[in-house]
Structure 1
Amino acid sequence: MQISAAWRLIARVFLPFAAGYYLSYLFRTINALISGHLISDTGLGTADLGLLTSVYFLVFAAAQIPIGILLDRFGPRRVQSALLLVAAAGAGLFAMSTGLPSLLISRAMIGLGVAAALTAGLKSIVLWFPRERVALLNGYMIMLGSFGAVTATTPTEYLLAWIGWRQLFEILAAVTGATAVLIYIVVPERVITPSIGSIPATLSSVFGDRRFWRIAPLSATCVGSAWSLQGLWAVPWLADVERLGREGLVGQLFIMSIVLCGGAWLFGTTVHFIRRRGVGAETILAVVAMFFIAAELALILRAPLPSILPWSVVAIVGTATVVSFAVTADYFPPELAGRANGAVNVLHFGWAFLAQYGTGLILEQWSTNDGHRAILAYQVAFGVNVALQIGALVWFALPSSLRSFTGWMGSIAFFAPVSVAEAVEPVVPYEQAIVLIPMDGDAEW
């Protein structure tokens, strides 16, 4: 690829989708900062707040499979621009909402509207850039998008000092709508022609692959829990357990967000280089899971460490999607990229919903004392997550013979017919044998 053509692709393909993912991350994490305002203005309880924040993940997860199919069928440009208009409408409605029902509806609209933000960006990378650059560019995509989490800390805190949270969401609605128009106008189309003998572009090809079911539970329980913690429950922990004031709390969230961005770059770069040495991305995922479990245990057991250290590990794990998507890029060809990434995201966001809402339900079993909940409440809630992550890690480490039935799990769960050959034999990693046809002459291969 010539340098000038590469920079045109960065400007016309990579950056517009990165902007969409930035907004997705901002919407995902902003409730942690405005939770106090929501409680005081609308009278929400702890469980209500958990449900309101986590409904984003529920809708996001439910939309991943249909969106994956739409991305493979219509391309990321049209799907992303249309859905971002839904997110803009949801943000506008959120700004006007006064009670839990309308807040839930608008939050669900936001979740649906940004549900394609990451997978559309990853699909565009697979379509437009060489395969050996996919993991690196995925890391940069998630790194840039993660600046949305940075924006949802100190910058938003300063902004809230000038305007209310309702005016903030009005601004977000306008910016989201403008990004939708930008993507539709600027991003070119791309046609992909599958190679002869490639596997059919069906969901059964993804859910019938035993390798997928090896890494998916581990990735979901770790990444989903990290999103749940940073997106909401880090704030009550820091206030109730660490007894931080508002300034210290926002400062720690800001540090976590900066670490989050660095983690995306670190994972993308690491996967890019270790692949050249024949090391699989699955190994990185297992190591990340062990560090994550250790960090959570340090919080639960109140290890004599500065709390920013384990919370920084939690933040970094939120970007381990770079590793997960690198694994699926190895498992499946580009014509299945939308479905494969969507399948992984179903589990990521589905688990984030369960972890976020479930944590709220557990915490509410303890009453507050002087406005603070007991440490034991958080230890129990976080401990349940850790136990399930350890189970997923054990599952990952089991011999393949003990996981042989999982090829049938996808077909049963998603009512997709899977042939015996698909269920028993994993899909062979593809070779780069497809034809990418530029529509406007911008790219040279």
Structure 2
Amino acid sequence: MRRHVMWAIGLTAYIIAVFHRSSLGVAGVEATDRFGVGTSLLALLSVAQLAVYAGMQIPVGVLLDRFGSRRMLVAGGLLMVAGQLLFAYAADIGPAIAARVLIGVGDAMTFISVLRVVAMWYPPRRNPLMVQLTGMVGQLGALSSAVPLVVLLRDVGWTATFLGSAVLGAAAVALVAVTLKDAPVATTTAAAPRALKLSWEHPGTRLGLWTHFVAQFSGSVFALLWGFPFLTQGEGLAPATAALLLSLLTVGGIVLGPLVGHFCGRLPYHRSTLVLGIVASSAVAWAVVLLWPGRAPVTVLTGLVLVLAVNGPGSMIGFDYARSFNPAGRIGGATGIVNVGGFVASILVIIGIGVILDLQTPAGAAHPSLGAFKWAFAVQYVLWAFGAAQVWRYRRTTRRIMPPEHLAAMRRGESLPATG
């Protein structure tokens, strides 16, 4: 029972962090008006947040192994509160970027800290399911930043909406500081540079990195920034309908996450096959929408969103690789390495979409055309091809170096203790 309480406390902190991270997604249109910027500069807000998030993952992972989850969650929560306060009063793009940077740094400290709580409190066979539950239930933060924030921005305005976000974050910080315990027993760690080097050198960690890279970015970019403008400005949906589709993306992930976790726990040998299947399904779903003549029907767009809903659960498989091939004393650094992947990919796609939209949109146009959006989203295929090739490469390398008895056990569906 106690392990579930510790997990629930960490999960609460992560839900609030996702709320902070996703709050820009439905405020994108208002942000262009408030700060007087175009699509490229609007993309900078998300890019700044994600770039800091990705860049901080490895340093945060090392600090996590040194200081533990509770301290890192408190520090991260305070930074996100400061970022939302600054964002509430930002009147131009400079302070707004600074605010998203603070949120990105705080966010970077949160998820991998909660994953360490899971690794410390739960046995190996339960870990894949609990990681999926953490990632997917945490997306309730994205759900609460969809329709509710749209309503709040309309009814109470920008400043009051983001001040309320800061108050919510402060409550989560207090909860963690008072109640969370890092692990049931104390753990030892290797020297930080040595531990990080060992984690990076293991191909299983790199398999996790590329899994996160290739599986996450399409759904993440859609939810964080470009999905709402694409659905409203490109496909012509009403804002409320677009917000509901973004909510469906989150709900779908929550439903599918435990299924993916159960699959990984029962069939660990076939985790990478599932990842490649998720990537292929995303590419096919986008092809249907991008090749549709004119605006796609709502049913087709709903199908796209349902396919993208499995992107998040698929990317979580990368963290299971980090746990499988790294001992507890260096799990923070290994998880940080893996978590870089999806956010680097998301940054590249966000920038690519923003640049192509600017190039495809005539000067003086109110917003990009549907055709511009379609050309912009096609940039995803470059990253899918590259990422899938890397998953295939490191899957083969990891299997080749594994002891035969471990490989045979994985084929039988046995979950092995962490090695490395």
TM-score by length of 2: 0.88
Give the direction of change, closer, same or farther, for the CA distance of 1:200–1:132 in structure 2 (3 Å limit). Answer: farther
Q: Is 1:122 aligned to residue 109 of structure 2?
A: no
**Which one-letter code corresponds to 1:142 in the other structure?**
G
Q: Is 1:281 aligned to residue 271 of structure 2?
A: yes
Shift of 1:426: 7.1
> How big is each residue's C-alpha offset from its partner over 1:101-145, in whole Å with a ceiling of 9 and x where there is no partner?
100001100110121211011001111111111111111111221
> How big is each residue's C-alpha offset from its partner over 1:370-399, in whole Å with a ceiling of 9 and x where there is no partner?
634233322322222212212321333348
Q: How far, CA to CA, are the matches of 1:35 and 1:392 in structure 2?
A: 28
Q: How far, CA to CA, are the matches of 2:371 and 2:132 in structure 1?
A: 37
**Which one-letter code corresponds to 2:44 in the other structure?**
L
| Structure 2 contact 130–261 (Cα < 8 Å) conserved | yes
Shift of 1:82: 1.4
Q: Is 1:367 aligned to residue 357 of structure 2?
A: no
Q: How far, CA to CA, are the matches of 2:159 and 2:403 in structure 1?
A: 49
Q: Is 1:175 aligned to residue 168 of structure 2?
A: yes
**1:153 alignment counterpart:** 146
**1:100 alignment counterpart:** 93
Q: Secondary structure at the match of 1:306?
A: helix
Q: Is 1:135 aligned to residue 128 of structure 2?
A: yes
**1:295 alignment counterpart:** 285
Give the direction of change, closer, same or farther, for the CA distance of 1:188–1:385 in structure 2 (3 Å limit). Answer: same
Shift of 1:200: 9.1
Q: How far, CA to CA, are the matches of 2:161 and 2:367 in structure 1?
A: 28
Q: How far, CA to CA, are the matches of 1:47 and 1:228 in structure 2?
A: 14
Q: Is 1:36 aligned to residue 26 of structure 2?
A: no
**1:69 alignment counterpart:** 62
> How big is each residue's C-alpha offset from its partner over 1:311-351, in whole Å with a ceiling of 9 and x where there is no partner?
22123203323211112211211212111110011122122
| Structure 2 contact 272–391 (Cα < 8 Å) conserved | no
**Which one-letter code corresponds to 2:274 in the other structure?**
I
Q: How far, CA to CA, are the matches of 2:161 and 2:41 in structure 1?
A: 21
Q: Is 1:325 aligned to residue 315 of structure 2?
A: no
Q: Is 1:235 aligned to residue 220 of structure 2?
A: no
Q: How far, CA to CA, are the matches of 2:121 and 2:322 in structure 1?
A: 17
| Structure 1 contact 209–427 (Cα < 8 Å) conserved | no
| Structure 1 contact 80–180 (Cα < 8 Å) conserved | yes
Give the direction of change, closer, same or farther, for the CA distance of 1:146–1:398 in structure 2 (3 Å limit). Answer: same
**1:396 alignment counterpart:** 391
Q: How far, CA to CA, are the matches of 1:252 and 1:200 in structure 2?
A: 44
**1:409 alignment counterpart:** none
Give the direction of change, closer, same or farther, for the CA distance of 1:74–1:262 in structure 2 (3 Å limit). Answer: same
> How big is each residue's C-alpha offset from its partner over 1:18-59, in whole Å with a ceiling of 9 and x where there is no partner?
111112221222212111211222212111111112211101
Shift of 1:272: 2.5
| Structure 2 contact 34–92 (Cα < 8 Å) conserved | no
**2:210 alignment counterpart:** 217
Of 314, 325, 328 in structure 1, the residue corresponding to residue 308 of structure 2 is: 314
Q: How far, CA to CA, are the matches of 1:206 and 1:49 in structure 2?
A: 36
**Matched-pair identity in %:** 23
**1:50 alignment counterpart:** 43
Give the direction of change, closer, same or farther, for the CA distance of 1:143–1:215 in structure 2 (3 Å limit). Answer: closer
Superposed CA RMSD: 2.8
**1:4 alignment counterpart:** none
**Which one-letter code corresponds to 1:318 in the other structure?**
G
Q: How far, CA to CA, are the matches of 1:265 and 1:137 in structure 2?
A: 8
| Structure 2 contact 22–142 (Cα < 8 Å) conserved | yes
Q: How far, CA to CA, are the matches of 1:433 and 1:387 in structure 2?
A: 34
Shift of 1:263: 2.8
Shift of 1:432: 4.1
Alignment of 1:343-358 (within 5 A): 343-358=337-352
Q: Is 1:8 aligned to residue 38 of structure 2?
A: no
| Structure 1 contact 218–289 (Cα < 8 Å) conserved | no
Q: How far, CA to CA, are the matches of 2:383 and 2:75 in structure 1?
A: 37
Give the direction of change, closer, same or farther, for the CA distance of 1:201–1:95 in structure 2 (3 Å limit). Answer: same
Of 371, 380, 391 in structure 2, the residue corresponding to residue 376 of structure 1 is: 371
Shift of 1:425: 6.0
**2:410 alignment counterpart:** none
> How big is each residue's C-alpha offset from its partner over 1:254-281, in whole Å with a ceiling of 9 and x where there is no partner?
2222112223233223222334xxx332
| Structure 2 contact 289–300 (Cα < 8 Å) conserved | no
| Structure 2 contact 17–141 (Cα < 8 Å) conserved | yes
| Structure 2 contact 25–226 (Cα < 8 Å) conserved | yes
Unaligned 5+ segments in structure 1 are: 1-6, 405-423, 435-445
**1:186 alignment counterpart:** 179
Shift of 1:427: 9.8
Q: Is 1:21 aligned to residue 21 of structure 2?
A: no
Give the direction of change, closer, same or farther, for the CA distance of 1:180–1:427 in structure 2 (3 Å limit). Answer: farther
**Which one-letter code corresponds to 1:295 in the other structure?**
A
Q: How far, CA to CA, are the matches of 2:206 and 2:256 in structure 1?
A: 25
Q: Secondary structure at the match of 2:313?
A: coil
Give the direction of change, closer, same or farther, for the CA distance of 1:425–1:320 in structure 2 (3 Å limit). Answer: closer
Q: How far, CA to CA, are the matches of 1:398 and 1:116 in structure 2?
A: 30
Q: How far, CA to CA, are the matches of 2:403 and 2:187 in structure 1?
A: 19
